[in-house]
Amino acid sequence: MTEDRKQETENRKQRDASCLFPVSCLLPSEIEAIKAEAGHYETPSAASIEALKIVQKNRGWISDESLKEIAALLGMAPAELDGVATFYNLIYRRPVGDTVVHYCNSASCWMLGAEKVRERFCERLGIELGETTKDGEFTLLPIVCLGACDHAPVVMVGESIHHDVDEQQVDRILDGKR
């Protein structure tokens, strides 16, 4: 980190400390992890995606408050970081369930029954695409090709990939989680 940037970050922190929003909502462990990532790059802002993922892993999603603090930590304007956050399929700017179910809707999965898989998830969870179950356990989202087309249809539940998914397997996935 250059001296200028250090100063800039320091100034921003002081500004933030006097504003209405609760600051220091980032945990020391999060700040440490973000700083470690930033150390691998020429500029701290290069760690923006990793920083968002570190915080999201802890909290499930990226709130405006989190966004603001991460931006300050990386020496970015909040709007600039929001431009990055909203760009990616896997950064959530709204609350999601404890487990996010991503079903692949790209060509090979679509051909081999992805819609049936989606329908079964919707039916079992009682939600539409993009919604979260009332108990806050599951969010169902579409995702593009997950890189396992030889095992289509493919579903990503949390971080784990499920192959050759049919309606029975949807049931097994959900029963195993609940």
Q: To the nearest whole angstrom, how small is the minimum distance from the Cβ of residue 24 to other proteins? A: 23
Q: Is 87 in the site for other proteins (CB under 8 A)?
A: yes
User: What are phi and psi for residue 160, nearest 5 degrees?
Assistant: -105, 140
Proportion of the chain in helix, strand, coil states, percent, rounded to 5: 50, 10, 40
Which SS3 state, helix, strand or coil, does residue 142 take?
strand
Q: Is 60 in the site for other proteins (CB under 8 A)?
A: no
Q: Binding marks (x or -) toward other proteins, 3..42, rule CB under 8 A? A: -------------------------------------xxx
Q: To the nearest whole angstrom, how small is the minimum distance from the Cβ of residue 66 to other proteins? A: 15
Those residues whose C-beta lies under 8 Å from the C-beta of residue 113, and which sit 6 or more positions away, are 152, 153, 166
d(CA 76, CA 68): 9
Binding site for other proteins (CB under 8 A): 40-43, 45-50, 52-53, 74, 76, 83-84, 87-91, 105-108, 110-116, 119, 143-152, 156, 159-161
